[in-house]
Amino acid sequence: MKNIAGLMKQAQQMQQKMADMQAKLEATEMEGVAGAGLVKIVLSGKGALKSVKIDPKLIDPNETEMLEDLIAAAHADAKAKLDEMMESETKSAMGGLNLPPGMKLPF
């Protein structure tokens, strides 16, 4: 019975760590850049687009395709950074618990 009580305590601690991680994630913003900083995108910790900043030098009606590509690249940059941070935080919260491949937290 002591093992079950210990497991329950560990589960509660993990649950609290995950709740703390979720709160931290909600407060996080991640910036992605492209075109040597000419396009900047900010995502919330949940991946929602918060802002787009475009250097006025890029606003040329003949270059819209390049601008669209830079916006997509900046978004991808911010998303990759956010995913990396989230993976790191999840590993920290899980305390080294190894999950099966393909299983991600939070669900």
Structural domains present in the chain? 2-92 (3.30.1310.10)
Q: Does residue 102 register a pLDDT over 50?
A: yes
This prediction's pTM: 0.66
Of 99, 77, 84, 82, residue with least CA distance to 44: 82
| Average pLDDT of span 1-24 | 81
The string of pLDDT tens digits covering residues 50-88 is 999 999 988 888 988 999 999 999 999 999 999 898 888
Tokens linked to 25: 């994630």
Q: Does residue 23 register a pLDDT over 70?
A: yes
- What's the confidence (pLDDT) of residue 34? 94
- What's the confidence (pLDDT) of residue 99? 55
Cβ–Cβ < 8 Å for 31, 41: yes
Cβ–Cβ < 8 Å for 46, 78: no
